[in-house]
Structure 1
Amino acid sequence: MTLSLSRLRRAVMGVSDAEATSFSRGDTPTWRHLETVVRTAVGGYHAVLDGSRFDDLIPRLDRTPVELRGYAYEGAAMGLTGLDCFLPGKSRLQAYLAGPGSPHIYMVHIGAGEALARLRRRPEVFMRRLTDPALRWLVMDGYGFHEGFFKPRRFVERQQVPVHLSPFARRVFDQGIGRSVWFTSGADADGISRAIAAFPAHRHADLWLGVGVACGYVGGVDRATVEALRAAAGRHASRMAVGTAFVAKGRLRAGNPIPDTDLACEVLCGISGRQAARLVDRAFEDLPDTPSAPAYDTLQRRLESSLAVAPSVTGDDT
């Protein structure tokens, strides 16, 4: 791609560093970790704007350190989805999902949702094009994360929900909002707890699930913080565990496990990351999908039930 075209794409579709890091309010190791995560995702997004041919793009993404690489692939999915929206034709995202993005399939779906939020497209219309009946709901998670992260006054402080979302989509939207609160609260247990407590009670379970996703995938906190979050979640701690177990599988599939995931699984699930991933595999088996019981909802319910008896069913950790 020519330099001028790259600059034009960045001018029209890019995310400035100031916008990406506007959430940060400190110079602690945790805030710096969160900033690095966001910058890595934005870097993957911009990599697509600079050139979307896979033979050039993927080597650039793979220069990212392994533990952060999922974020780069997430950002690239955001960029490819954006190009698909502007330049109709053969889907770049579908080719990415079927090819080099497959190991990072969880993060790819999330990145697609972030692009749809940024471009003000309706995610449920887009989701119908995707083949996996469970994982396609991660598009909605990404959509919610984007809105909570970039528009916290509207979607966190004023607690708005897009009116065009279906009932279950609203729940997964809240899971993305919960994940965004991890960032905007600086992964602070008290800040996260206060933010969620301000929402109506019927939204708490899904918000806490999103916190569990962030705790397991993003990490950046110590055991005491994870334990404080488990206590603050109260009866929703089992929902946190579902989110953490789910991303343990995502990191294992992508080949980028981190100690923080095992820590979160140990505290929230009572098992290791590998054991949690095996439970996720079992939850996916023969997964039905109906309008009244979406596959992703059934998956989460199965996982919550299996985690309740996890120490007796997982076996050894080999």
Structure 2
Amino acid sequence: MSRTLSPLRRAVMGVSDKEATAFSRGNSPAWAHLEVAVRAAVGGYHTVLDGSRFDELVPRLDRTPLELRGYAYEGAAMGLTGLDCFLPGKSRFRAFIQGPGEPHIYMAHIGAGEALARLRRKPEPFLTRLDDPVLRWLVLDGYGFHEGFFKTKRHVDEQRVPAHLSAFGRRVFDQGVGRSIWFTRGADPASMARAIAAFPADRHADLWLGVGVACGYVGGVDRATVRDVRKLAGENATQLAVGTAFVAKGRLRAGNPMPHTDLACDVLCGGSTGAGAASIVDDVWQDLPDSPNSPAYDALQQRIAARLISTAPPTDALTARGESTNGNQP
């Protein structure tokens, strides 16, 4: 990509710092942590607009601190998908996930969905071009996150869902919206619970699953906060844990496991470490059925839930570890 075109592409496709951080409502450590994560993703996106050759792009992405590197790759995938939408030729996104972006393939699919939302492209036709029957659905997660994050009034406050999505597409869209609520509510358990309670009850499970994804991947909160999240999820606590276990696998695959992921898995996934939760995902990711009526991603999430339920410690064991189910332990 010509450097002389970089300012033009930034002007047309870029995300200003004001737009990226408009969600923030304070200067607490939690808000600051979330802003850093968003800026890392936007930075990766702009890196592509400045130059999309992988030999130049990847070293620049890898300068991002390890904890934040997945966001940079997410943003890069967003930028590459955006270029694919405008410029003909071989898919830059596919080349990225089959090449240097492969370790960050979870975040890359999310970034692709964010690009499609930003460019107002329908996401499900894009899925037919992707090979992995599970990970391709993360495009819908990214699509939902973008809409919930940048169009909060429409998709969170008014609970609107794009009419063009399939039944399962709507569910994964909600998972992305749930993840966006972690950001727009500053990872505050009570505020997130109020936002989700306003949605129709049949959407709660997927929204809480998205919160679990954010809790496991983004972090920025202490043990007491994670316990409160689990308490407020109520009957959806297993779905919360499914999201956390899934992203523990994503972080492990990317080579950037973090202590906050271990913390979330310990509290939400029955005392498991991040590696232990990831092993559950590995165990059930075998011979998944895949059809329009039974997408592989849905089957995987159901299997993770069943395994988590079957291996959950009894209530008395939680109490002995100081993990009281009333969520009020310090």
Q: For this structure pair, what is the TM-score category when the shorter chain's length is used for normalisation?
A: over 0.9
Aligned partners of 2:295, 2:237: CA distance in 1, in Å?
23
What do the CA deviations read for 1:69-119 (whole angstroms, capped 9, x no partner)? 000000000000000000021000000010011000100000000000000
Task: Give the structure 1 partner of residue 298 of structure 2.
Answer: 297
What do the CA deviations read for 1:208-252 (whole angstroms, capped 9, x no partner)? 000000000000001111100101000000000000000000000
CA apart distance, 1:311: 5.7
Aligned partners of 1:18, 1:250: CA distance in 2, in Å?
30
CA RMSD of aligned residues (A): 0.9
Task: Give the structure 1 partner of residue 253 of structure 2.
Answer: 253
Task: Give the structure 2 partner of residue 134 of structure 1.
Answer: 134
- What amino acid sits opposite 2:277 in the alignment? A
- What amino acid sits opposite 2:275 in the alignment? R
Aligned partners of 2:183, 2:4: CA distance in 1, in Å?
34
Is residue 65 of structure 1 aligned with residue 39 of structure 2? Answer: no
Aligned partners of 1:10, 1:106: CA distance in 2, in Å?
25
Task: Give the structure 1 partner of residue 228 of structure 2.
Answer: 228
Per the normalisation by structure 1, the TM-score is: 0.97
Task: Give the structure 1 partner of residue 267 of structure 2.
Answer: 267
Task: Give the structure 1 partner of residue 123 of structure 2.
Answer: 123
CA apart distance, 1:291: 1.2
The answer to whether the 8 Å contact 2:269/2:312 transfers is no
CA apart distance, 1:2: 4.0
Aligned partners of 2:312, 2:305: CA distance in 1, in Å?
13
CA apart distance, 1:309: 2.0
Task: Give the structure 2 partner of residue 43 of structure 1.
Answer: 43
- What amino acid sits opposite 1:234 in the alignment? G
Aligned partners of 1:203, 1:308: CA distance in 2, in Å?
21
- What amino acid sits opposite 1:283 in the alignment? V
Task: Give the structure 1 partner of residue 237 of structure 2.
Answer: 237
| 1:309 match: secondary structure | helix
CA apart distance, 1:310: 2.6
Task: State the percentage of identical aligned residues.
Answer: 72
The answer to whether the 8 Å contact 2:45/2:76 transfers is yes
- What amino acid sits opposite 2:28 in the alignment? T
Segments of 5+ residues of structure 2 without an aligned counterpart are: 314-330
Aligned partners of 2:292, 2:68: CA distance in 1, in Å?
36
Task: Give the structure 2 partner of residue 21 of structure 1.
Answer: 21
Per the normalisation by structure 2, the TM-score is: 0.93
Aligned partners of 1:33, 1:4: CA distance in 2, in Å?
34
| 2:120 match: secondary structure | coil
Aligned partners of 1:163, 1:287: CA distance in 2, in Å?
28
Is residue 103 of structure 1 aligned with residue 103 of structure 2? Answer: yes
Alignment of 1:126-165 (within 5 A): 126-165=126-165
Task: Give the structure 2 partner of residue 203 of structure 1.
Answer: 203
Q: How many aligned residue pairs are there?
A: 312
CA apart distance, 1:283: 1.6
Segments of 5+ residues of structure 1 without an aligned counterpart are: 313-318
- What amino acid sits opposite 1:128 in the alignment? T
Aligned partners of 1:214, 1:78: CA distance in 2, in Å?
19
Task: Give the structure 1 partner of residue 190 of structure 2.
Answer: 190
Aligned partners of 1:190, 1:155: CA distance in 2, in Å?
19
Task: Give the structure 2 partner of residue 315 of structure 1.
Answer: none
Is residue 12 of structure 1 aligned with residue 15 of structure 2? Answer: no
CA apart distance, 1:120: 0.4
| 1:211 match: secondary structure | helix
The answer to whether the 8 Å contact 2:174/2:210 transfers is yes
The answer to whether the 8 Å contact 2:3/2:51 transfers is no
Task: Give the structure 1 partner of residue 166 of structure 2.
Answer: 166
Aligned partners of 1:191, 1:203: CA distance in 2, in Å?
17
Aligned partners of 2:3, 2:312: CA distance in 1, in Å?
56
Task: Give the structure 1 partner of residue 214 of structure 2.
Answer: 214
What do the CA deviations read for 1:29-54 (whole angstroms, capped 9, x no partner)? 11010000000000000000000000
- What amino acid sits opposite 2:133 in the alignment? P
What do the CA deviations read for 1:158-196 (whole angstroms, capped 9, x no partner)? 000000000000000000000000000000011100000
- What amino acid sits opposite 2:66 in the alignment? V
Aligned partners of 2:233, 2:28: CA distance in 1, in Å?
25
What do the CA deviations read for 1:126-170 (whole angstroms, capped 9, x no partner)? 011000001100000000000000000000000000000000000
